Each structure stands twice: as C-alpha cells, then as structure tokens.
Structure 1
Amino acid sequence: MCGRNQPPDVWFLAGTHGGRAVRACEIPNGRPIAVPVINLVGDDQSCAAFMGSAQGTVALDGKPVEPETYEGDSIMVEGVQDNQVTGEEGRFTATGCGLWVQLPSPAPGAHSLKIHGQSGDFSVDVDYVLTVGASSA
C-alpha cells in the first residue's frame, strides 16, 4: 500500500487521522522521503490555531531529525468521494500547514522511523519499519 500513486522523484509516507499506527514499507533505493509529523488541511484561521501548539519529534534509526515548519501554504486539493481529510469532493483550494520531515534517501536495508506529533488534543504516533531496496548498479 505504501507504493500507491508515488511520484518518480520522492517517496511520500502517509500521516494518520490521529492516534497510533505501525507500518512497514518497502522503498526503492535512491528516493528521498517526505512525511508529515503533524499537519492540517483547512483555512488560514484553522491553520493559525493549529500551528500555535504544533510540536513533534522524529527519529530515523534512533537519531533525531528536526521537522520543518509550514505555517500555512495555499494548496490545490483533489477530493474524492468519501474524502476523510476535508469531506469535500472535487478540486478546491485550501490552506495546508504542519510539521514535515524531508529525508535524503536512506542506505539500502532496514530502517526505523518514529514520528510523534501533537497540536492541542490531536496527536499522532507512527512507527515505520522501512526496507530500502538494494542498488540497481
């Protein structure tokens, strides 16, 4: 499931709708990784409130990684039927905000990625077991 709809230049790992998740993913060698620590899709006001208390920690193989802060950027959303993120269908503009991590491509082999984020009473706690494929050289 982790490989669904991935672009060719980066590997996105999914956030959650809150709570705890444990996931295992295989990633091709040579792909940098992008993953939300904690994020929101809403409007300018909801993002300002959300970011007022947003905090998070990330560790790759036990080493801390500093998240990047995105206070609120205009984004284009393609909402499908039963969209769990916004509840809206079709294309629309929204504001995206949150803490994200961008990682260079990990070496081939097994890796542990631990993510914890919180804003107000909303929190996420995700443990990823990542397997990066061998070099194709």
Structure 2
Amino acid sequence: MSPLRSLFGRASGPAPLPYPPTSPEGLAARWVRWVAAHGPAKNPVRDTTGEHAGHHQADDVWFLAGTYGGSVTRRCAVPAGRPLFFPAFNMWQFPAQVGEMPVVPRATGHAQLDGAPLPLATVGTPTPFEVRGALGNGVTSRPRPTPVTCWGLWASLPPLAPGAHELTFGGTDGGGFWVEAQYRLVVN
C-alpha cells in the first residue's frame, strides 16, 4: 500500500479481533471498524440518503448505521442472502483499556422490520480491539492503530426475503440524546 493510501484511505492489516468474527462482540467490533473505514465525505453515520451504505461492506454480513443524534431516512439495496447487523443505540471509547466500556445504564432502544418489533441484545467489548481507519474517520479520526471498546443495543437479522422492506431502529441515552434511522431496503 502506498504511503498516501495508508494515510488518506482505508488502512489494511488491522490486528485480529479478540472475539470470534461472527459472535455478537465480533460483529460489534467489525461494525465499528466498518464505520472507521470511511473518511468524512462518505461516513455512513452522517449519510443522509443511504448512498454510502454499500461502501466497505463485508462479504458475510450487511451493516447499517444510525446517526450521531437525531433522525434520518435512507434508501439502499442489500444483496440477497446477507444477514443484517446494526445498533439501535451504541457508544465507543478510544483509546481504551481492558474493561473500559462506554456503558450507558439508562439507554433504551427499539427496532422493527415491516411493522414487527425486533429483539435487541446488549453487547459490549470489554477487551479492546484495534481500529485503523481512514483519516478523519467517524470513530477515532486518525489512521494509526487505536484500541477501541464499544457497548450498545444491537440487532441481528437473518437474510431478508427479496423485495422491499422498511426497517426502523433507534434509541436514547435516557437523558435527552436520541437517534433514529429509517431504512427503505430493497433486497435483490
């Protein structure tokens, strides 16, 4: 990788995760790395339309983003056969030490698919994982390796049936901060 690419683009070769990649903790860590892979111009959390939803997606899961506060409506296509993983409410901390998680005790969340409520799971990563992101990324803002932990209320869905779906999720810290994302998904 060229020095400029490693400085301004998506860095390669992060350390292995301390969690199995498909475990809830591994998926949460991978989601944070996915957000960090984007610079400020294509940040999926700041995206107001869904146009950046497909950037840097993994081959085995499709990540969706909430917001940094407030609500958003997005549209995006999701490949058939891909499970979904997203936070209704989450926080991350960097640099982090073992056991330091940004737990928000009064946080609540919700999610629904096509009008049916979805279960949420509380997932945290007490062992830090390395994040190397694009310069100006939405997690650490720096491309150098940084230990990160995260905590949140997450949802995992099996692959959706082909066609159109409406997914809504969000949450609050219990003290006035809230997030809400509505996705109009097309699975093909």
Q: TM-score range by the shorter chain?
A: 0.7 to 0.9
- Larger fraction in helix: 2
Asked whether the equivalents of residues 41 and 86 of structure 1 are also in contact (C-alpha less than 8 Å), the reply is no
Query: What amino acid sits opposite 1:18 in the alignment?
Result: G
- Structure 1 segment 1-137 matched on structure 2, within 5 A: 1-42=52-93, 43=96, 47-48=102-103, 50=104, 52-73=105-126, 74-119=128-173, 120-133=175-188
- Larger fraction in strand: 1
Query: What amino acid sits opposite 1:64 in the alignment?
Result: P
Q: Which has the higher contact order (CA 8 A, sep 6+)?
A: 1
Asked whether the equivalents of residues 101 and 124 of structure 2 are also in contact (C-alpha less than 8 Å), the reply is no
Structure 1 residue 85: deviation in Å? 2.7
Query: What amino acid sits opposite 1:113 in the alignment?
Result: L
| Cα RMSD, aligned residues only | 1.6
Distance 1:15 1:67 in 2: 14
Counterpart of 2:46?
Answer: none
Query: What amino acid sits opposite 1:93 in the alignment?
Result: P
Query: After the TM superposition, which segments of 4 or more aligned residues of structure 1 sit over 3 Å from their partners?
Result: 43-46, 86-89
Normalized against structure 2, the TM-score is what? 0.64
Structure 1 residue 45: deviation in Å? 5.1
Question: Tell me, which stretches of 5 or more residues in structure 2 are unaligned?
Answer: 1-51
Asked whether the equivalents of residues 91 and 151 of structure 2 are also in contact (C-alpha less than 8 Å), the reply is yes
Question: Tell me, which stretches of 5 or more residues in structure 1 are unaligned?
Answer: none
Normalized against structure 1, the TM-score is what? 0.87
